[in-house]
Amino acid sequence: MASSASLYSPSYLVLLFTFVAWFAALVDAGNFNQDVDISWGDGRGKILNNGQLLTLSLDKNSGSGFQSKKEFLFGKIDTQIKLVPGNSAGTVTAYYLSSQGPAHDEVDFEFLGNLSGDPYVLHTNVFSQGKGNREVQFYLWFDPTKDFHTYSILWNPNHIVLSVDGIPIREFKNLEATNGVAYPKKQPMRLYASLWDAEDWATRGGRVKTDWSQAPFTASFGSFNADGCAGNDGACNSKGWMNQEMGSGGMSRLRWVQENYMIYNYCSDVQRFPQGLPRECSVN
């Protein structure tokens, strides 16, 4: 039997959870024709291979994006993404849940492009009732441009968990009852993805601009699987993820990611919050 230390070693975790995420996507692969609409881009977004592949492109005139046909109030969403290769500086590939309106809720994955050979920055954020500013950033432990990897959002009444290839990287707990921090639980959200130019801030604070001689830039999406509820109907209660918790194994993997790959956490930025860190930081 493997020791507990070897079970949570980086090499073991990467191999095990990459396989699990790949196998789950293979079994439950969705169909982009049935699940999403290309929402903007004037032809720069394309659904290919009978709905098994979706590509978004960006050139100097426009980016592109898609959105899910359905809205969800809680769910487990997995999407396979292969990011823009080469010199991707200035580009952002966004993948997120969002409701509408000024008091909207939102859960973000944003991949900030970089110069060739430099790592992407995975930027995450959580908005509740219009309040965001909860940025946590990571490097990844693999090259996200070489192959598809699975990026997941678990959203239930207890917490939001963001995962990469089945490995949790961030948890945002529902603390509304105990300390009044608003939690996304009433507004249905739709899934969105886009590829767009953000050279004014995306790479090294905007110091590195987009090299348009490299355009068009293309990000690929290999599958989109959403097991969600449309509202507070009885069907939600039968879902296994509805009450899913992290568990000790999940917490160990979360700590491994945060100790080795987290590069910014708003809850550690005391200069940004001189009057005191946000209330959720004591738990999240």
Helix, coil or strand: residue 67: strand
Distance CA 97, CA 189 (A): 6
Instruction: Give the range of the structural domain holding residue 132, as residue numbers without chain letter.
Output: 4-282
Among 75, 74, 93, 73, CA closest to 83: 93
Q: What pLDDT, in 10s, does the model give residues 23-53?
A: 444 435 689 999 999 999 999 999 999 999 9
Task: Give the CATH number of the domain where residue 82 resides.
Answer: 2.60.120.200
42 burial class (0-12, 13-18, 19+ CB within 10 angstroms)? exposed
pLDDT tens digits along 73-122: 999 999 999 999 999 999 999 999 999 998 999 999 999 999 998 999 99
**The predicted structure's pLDDT at residue 27:** 39
How many structural domains is the chain composed of? 1
Q: What gap in Å lies between CA 19 and CA 22, rounded to an integer?
A: 5
Whether 110 is catalytic: yes
C-alpha to C-alpha distance for 261 and 169, rounded to whole angstroms: 9
Give SS3 for 55: strand
Predicted structure pTM score: 0.89
End-to-end Cα distance, the chain: 33
Is residue 280 part of the annotated active site? The answer reads no
d(CA 33, CA 50) in angstroms, rounded, equals: 8
The residue ranges of the chain whose pLDDT is under 50 are 1-8, 12-13, 18-27
